[in-house]
Amino acid sequence: MYCDLRSETDPTVIMRKPATPFRALPPASEVSFPGVFAWSPVTSAAVTTAIGADPGAWNVWRNRRLTPDPMPAAWFRRSTGSPLVYKVSDILTWLAAKRGERLDPLNTWRRSLLTGFDQEVTDPDKVRAFARMYAEAIGPRPPGGVAFTSAGFRDYLASLLSSK
C-alpha cells in the first residue's frame, strides 16, 4: 500500500511513498515473535506483522537492499508464495541499527535462554550450543510456518555454532 502525495511546488507530480516509513518502526525492545526463540526462522509475513510494517513497504525495502539478508532459500521446502525467511535475531538487530542502537544478535539469543534457566548463560559458545540443542529438539518444522529440507536443517544447525 502506498500514499500518494502531491508535490507542493508542482501539483501535477505525484510522489509515491511506502505507507510505513522507517521512522514509524518500533524499537527492537518492543517487538516480539511469540512462540519462537531469537535464533528461530520466521517468514516475512511474521516479520511485517511483528514490526507493524506494510508488506508492500517491506518488499520495497528488501528490493532496495535496506532489510537484513534472508536465510538461504535452499534451506527450506518450497511453500505457497515461497516466502522469504529471516532469523529473528537478524530482524531485531536490524531494527536496533535503524534507531542508531547497537544490539548483538547473541544477546538476543541469551535473552531467549533466560526463560529456561535459573542463571544467565554468558559464555558465547554455551549460548550457541544451547541454541543448537533447542533447534535440534524442535526439528526441521519449527513454529512459524517454515519447513527445512534435510540438508538445509543440517546447515542451519551448523550455522548456529558459527561465530557470525
Burial 84-115 (b: 16+ CB within 10 A, else e): bbbbbbbbbbbbbeeeeeebebbbbbbebbee
Residue type (1 letter), 128:
R
pTM for this prediction: 0.83
CA 25 to chain centre: 14
Angle between helices 88-98 and 44-51 (to 10 degrees): 40
Residue in the structure block whose three cell numbers are 538487530: 93
Domains of the chain, by residue range, sit at 39-74+81-161
Confidence check: pLDDT of 7 > 70: no
* 3-class SS shares of the chain: helix, strand, coil, % to 5: 45, 10, 45
What CA–CA distance (Å, rounded) separates 36 from 54?
A: 22
Tens digits of residue pLDDT in 56-106: 889 989 999 999 999 999 999 987 777 899 999 999 999 999 888 999 999
Distance of alpha carbon 11 from alpha carbon 138, whole angstroms: 56
Give 4's pLDDT tier (boundaries 50, 70, 90). Answer: very low
According to DSSP, the β-strands at 14-18 and 2-6 are antiparallel
Taking only the tens place, the pLDDT of each residue in 139-164 is 999 987 899 999 999 999 999 998 65
